[in-house]
Amino acid sequence: MKAKVSTEWLSGCSGCHIAVVDLHEKLLNLVDSIEFVRIPVLMDVRDYPKADIGLVEGAIRSDHDREAVLKMRESVDKLVAFGTCASYGGVSGLGWLYKDDAILSKVYGGLPTTTETERPQGAPVLEHSVIPIDEVVEVDVHLPGCPPHPYYIAQAIKVLLGEEGAVMPAGTVCSQCNRKMVKREGVAFKKGAVTAPEKDICFLSQGVICLGSVTLERCRAQCTNKGVTCAGCTGPSIAVVTEPHLDIRSMVAKRMSLLTDIDENEILDYMAKEAKTFYSYALSSPVVYKKPTVEIREWVGEK
Ligand code: SF4
Ligand code: SF4
Ligand code: SF4
Domains present along the chain, CATH in parentheses = 3-160 (3.40.50.700), 173-300 (no CATH)
C-beta 94 within 6 A of ligand 1: no
**pTM here?**
0.93
Q: Residue 26's pLDDT is what?
A: 65
110, with CB counted inside 10 A (0-12, 13-18, 19+), is exposed
**Parallel, antiparallel or unpaired: strands 76-82 and 51-57:** parallel
DSSP 226: G
Question: 178: helix, coil or strand?
Answer: coil
CA atoms of 280 and 58, how far apart (whole Å): 15
Round to whole Å and give the CA distance between 248 and 17.
28
Ligand 3 centroid – CA 223 distance (Å): 6
Return d(Cα 275, Cα 212) in angstroms, integer.
16
Q: Which atom of ligand 3 approaches the CA of 217 most closely?
A: 7
**179, 211, 225, 237: residue to mutate for ligand 2 pocket, most atoms within 8 A of CB:** 179
Q: Whose CA is nearest to atom 4 of ligand 3?
A: 223
Cis ω before 147 (30° cut-off from 0): yes
Ligand 2 closest atom vs CA 180: 5
Closest CA to 93 of 298, 275, 235, 280: 280
Strands 126-131 and 60-62: antiparallel
Task: Write the DSSP string, 233-292.
Answer: TT-B-HHHHH-TT--HHHHHHHHHHHHH---HHHHHHHHHHTHHHHTTTTTTSHHHHT-T
**Whole-Å CA distances, 205 to 151, 208, 233, 260, 269:** 30, 7, 21, 6, 19
CB atoms near residue 151 (< 10 Å): 13
Q: Which of 21, 19, 49, 53 is nearest to 37 (CA)?
A: 49
Closest CA to 34 of 2, 59, 60, 62: 2
Strand order of the sheet with strand 34-38? 34-38, 3-9, 51-57, 76-82, 141-143
Number of H helices, E strands in the chain: 12, 7
Out of 152, 173, 279, mutate this one to test ligand 3's pocket (max ligand atoms within 8 Å of CB): namely: 173
Per-residue pLDDT of the chain (303 residues), as tens digits, is 889 999 999 999 999 998 887 776 666 666 678 899 999 988 899 999 999 999 999 999 999 999 999 999 999 999 999 999 999 999 989 888 888 888 888 888 777 777 767 777 777 889 988 999 999 999 999 999 999 998 899 889 889 988 888 899 999 999 999 999 999 999 999 999 999 999 999 999 999 999 999 999 999 999 999 999 999 999 999 999 999 999 999 999 999 999 999 999 999 999 999 999 999 999 999 999 888 888 888 887 764
d(CA 277, CA 298): 15
